Structure 1
């Protein structure tokens, strides 16, 4: 069954309507022969000033107001996709864990609610190594939360976070990001493999270069179940601004121009190839599709 607005409405309407940031609720959709579950690690709330860095504030406010969205702050869910294909369980990102914010660390409960045993997860693929995607990879004892999994990270992402000059390349308020990335990745290293864009770190799952948010950020084109979709990570983070103004840098895009170019390419691919997406921070579990809207785009949530 192809993941379209119609099929997702039928498959997930009840679950996705109940999914709000911070709840251990689950969204599901069949992707051909594979089952996609969207789990939650909770939520994070950010000031509105971080939505579009250096963009004209009146234009940002106008777009948000027209869409009925708040302008002073935004609360984003942490949507963790898990794909079940036969006996294989494949997770994309790991949440922030309990040591990041009081509102994060819900993934273990969400996995239990979904009947997913962390010990049976075979692969964990990271889009990038920001705290809200990585730190949940370790449990309360600083050991891998999915003890039998192979963890996968882009080589460029590893190189960036372990560069001796990484702290000088980040503002002081993000030095903890680097220290945390180094701590978690070192703990995972015995189970971690590195890849490059274009590689298939897992057969049927290809890494797409979407650098800019971080130097090694990737998205994943997933064709495991026969019905392809794309896990976009933080290449698309806001349901209006990322689509209507893809050239605007988000607050945590490290390299704004590179992130914007990656976002444009990704949006074009999603439209031209008619590929559904699973996004880490978009609402209602982050499942949906993209439509062309003039010179820009529009996000169509699945439910």
Structure 2
């Protein structure tokens, strides 16, 4: 059946998918994805619903992403800046199901997200909290009948394995890879940034002339706004990323980044091991303790001004260059 002009389109995607029928409509020259559906009949119904109310997505087409964008402005006023950042970080872990219409989501979808997380109990607990909040919001908007956040499990609060630093041989192997995946790992190993801080790094946060970057989003207040000199070994990587991307230097979800990281390190390290490696190496090189705390974004009673002087930047650069 041929659809009328400007009505929209239905495309069956390849592969073994639960919801293979994608519904789209062209608006102002751009393709708007209305949703993904199990059958062509449901896809046609969603497209018909949208054309009847073009200013409002039909309930059957509202995705988890749309719901999150509606929920956050309502919830954010009650949160601290770090609280908002925590939810934003948790949201990155559910992006694998973010494009699925709310009404099509199942318990298995949410539980699958948590099962795939190779992180601590505390991190999983935060993601479960976000799922709980989004489900409550969806129920209020008559998009969902039950709160899956009350049903999903995150296991026991077992002891997470201690962080272990990379060896020189392992770091050298990353340099030999020369891939997009190894780029991220090497930047972490020569800046001490947290993974979330790296994924939030934008082109505007990089000062190529003075060779430093600014961490604008961090899980802690002490970590925000700090300056990290760009080590000479990763400068070509940073410059290449800046030429390729105008916004985020690593436009990838936390989950996918962690998967790539695990693959290139043969599952022997977590992203946080990079931060632990930087701290260990700087300590072994007798770096200035205040400079190390400033680079890592740790609380320090001796450093209160986040806008460092030129002398301060030189001190930080002297410390970061101790990394080999």
Greater RCO (CA < 8 Å, at least 6 residues apart)? 1
Question: Which has a greater percent of helix?
Answer: 2
Between Structure 1 and Structure 2, the one with more strand by share is 1
Structure of larger gyration radius? 2
Normalising by structure 1, what TM-score?
Answer: 0.29
